[in-house]
Structure 1
Amino acid sequence: MFKLTKNRLVKAWPATVSLATDNGEIQTHEITLDLVLLDTGEFNDLSRQGDPAFFKKVIKGWDGIGDENGDPLPFNTKTLKAAVQNPAFTAAALSAYMDAAQGRAATKNLPRQ
């Protein structure tokens, strides 16, 4: 049974961060995000406020993100604020959020019948 809920937390949702490198090459990094999926009204309101407000509300944790030296970066207000200034991170986080909200990633790995 589908349960209609206002907001829902999904943990360890996969995301792919794509970084441009030299000669038109792309380097990808797999991360996971703990995301709060908002109802449509709240999503629309926060979307108009910009990335920092939106991601502060929806991202509640992460794994696979490191600092400049490659050391794991803990999730907190300061590190999230820095992450949302990075366009590769915000693109990956928004894509992951939309996939989670629409149930896309959960179905793309099912065997074909």
Structure 2
Amino acid sequence: MAGHKIYKMAFASVYPHYITKVEKKDRTKEEVDEIIRWLTGYSQNELETHLENKTDFENFFEEAPKMNLNRDLIKGVICGVRVEEIEEPLMQEIRYMDKMIDELAKGKKMEKILREV
């Protein structure tokens, strides 16, 4: 998994930007956390521990207890790339999270964001 500097970037350094992005659109930190927990299987305490420990993205996803099986239902474009076409598994996980946060900021209902069928 060489190459992308985001892999070694602390998840905690990006997390506040997710919060700021959604709060500008009257959404909440709690909703961001719910999305992250849904995607990764982390508990709230585990998520907060990773934030405190400044875990990098690579380890954040590698250590995720249970990646949600419905994450392949996440479709669309983020940063000019279709998430379902990203070939690198770690980059795809990162972009899935970005896409869900983007949907939250755009006002989508949580049921749709969390791909409840």
More strand by proportion, 1 or 2?
Answer: 1
| Higher RCO, Cα 8 Å, sep 6+ | 2
Higher gyration radius (CA): 1
More helix by proportion, 1 or 2?
Answer: 2
